[in-house]
Structure 1
Amino acid sequence: MKDTELTERPLPLIHTEIWNEDPEPGNRYAARAAYCRGYDVFGEMVGNARWVEMLFLLFRPELPAPAALDLLEALAVALANPGPRDPSVHAAMCGGIAGSNAAASLIAALSVGAGRYHGARDVHDAMRLWTRCGMDLAAWKACLAPVPQETADTWPQAEHPPGFEPHAAVTPGATLTLLERLEAIARIAALPRLGWLLEQREALEQATGMGLDMSGVAAAALADLGFEPSEGEMLYLLLRLPGAAAHALEQQRKDYTQFPFYAVELEDDPAEKKESV
């Protein structure tokens, strides 16, 4: 079959509410212009729009008020680097020090950071609580009580209430500061959940015996912004990747003897057996 016959054959349409492309007159496989929710990406947005505006449009059909965009941007700054003690970043660092390629290190971070301990599924579950309980303290106290998992799930049984830190009786300072900063922005946008969470923080700590986790603050912010739990879960995974990438690259440039974590002591170390023979 000739190339000209291929180019004249009608192409099947790709249906999406997010993106639209105008083809080049002489090359229908190349885009002359691209539109995100109707906005001309290369003709209008590039050089004028904030990255957070593009991010919001990819997930939601319309842009919110400027203060709401400020809230998402502030949250993105807070989540950009969870730090080397975070399990997801630690996983990426292991990939870097071992010489893994970039994709492998990021996949390690995504995999470890996806679950119910400081992870994206914890955000998802906490956002579902906002849907069920709203701003009703009694409802929150009832929902935060441990309940056996009755149906099969991809994820293991949750070991603590979503959005809370099981190893701290009170909210850590950095988490509390983040909550206060985000609440101040949310107040401008008339978004109520972060303010309610700040007011009821001590009552929730007493009910659970645990302090708030960053995931709980992020869940409140994302719920305030109108995201669905599945969207919040995806955003949480995405927004924490820059730190994982940077730490993986840092370790990639170092010798494994400089890895900044304590040595692991094996109960049955083959090296010790070899020396004793």
Structure 2
Amino acid sequence: FISNYMEGNSTGDAGGGLELDNDSSYVTDSVFIDNTAYRGAGLHNWRTEARFTIESSEFIGNRASDCGGGLQFDNSPYRITVRDLWLEDNEAGDGGALCVDRVYRDPEDVGGQEDYYQDTLLSLENLVMSDNTAGDDGGAIYVRAGDIIIENVVMDGNEGPDASAMSVKGSTVTVTNAILSNNSGGAALYVEDTDDGPGSITVSYSDLYGNSSVAYGMEDPRGSGGNIDENPDYDTSAGDFSLSASSPCINAGDPDLDDPDGSRSDMGAYGGPGAP
């Protein structure tokens, strides 16, 4: 799916803009605007068992009454790569921008029974998630499944009463080189164990600034692991959350990761090896 434009579509089920249910898919250079659905209002990816990649796309103003205002992965593939996305002003009950729910491993590995909460690798790279809203959990992201890696992401101005930026339940999430700023409502980082397993978020080389509350169900990561609490000093004239020359987030990312110019990685959506 290349260079598609989905606007103003609606369904009472899943996938207002686009629903994918096949073995492998690739979405790029596409726009999802003002779509509505019960879940996955912009894009819903359902029950595929192979690689899925989405990149260089925008999700703006989509609305889901349940989970995943922008997009949702539901019973989805073993390896999911999400990179270089702009997700703004999306809304849902849980996961205003993104919902990851009920991802399973190969039924043969568990005696023929689907295990909905194990062994998927989802990577989120170089995303901007801004001004998204959840009625309950995860203004930007709601995760209930798998093994999630988040690298060089901005979550700014998101809102949710229980989790303003990210809610993680029964999942393991690793966050590196991120900026979580100006999120309001509940804690920016919300962790909860469930019957399906423990929840955890590990944060390193990230900036957590101006959030109404930082952490629930975990230690406040500021001041350790290379994490800071400083104004990221976005270049507001650019309007895209790039960093100004004076930003403390420049060359402050993981020293094991380089920017494309060979310098130490920056925090935020425009740093790291995959910087657009």
TMscore range, shorter length: under 0.3
Give the number of the structure whose alpha-carbon radius of gyration is greater.
1
Higher relative contact order (CA 8 A, sep 6+): 1
For normalisation by structure 1, the TM-score amounts to: 0.24
For normalisation by structure 2, the TM-score amounts to: 0.24
Q: Flag the structure with higher strand content.
A: 2
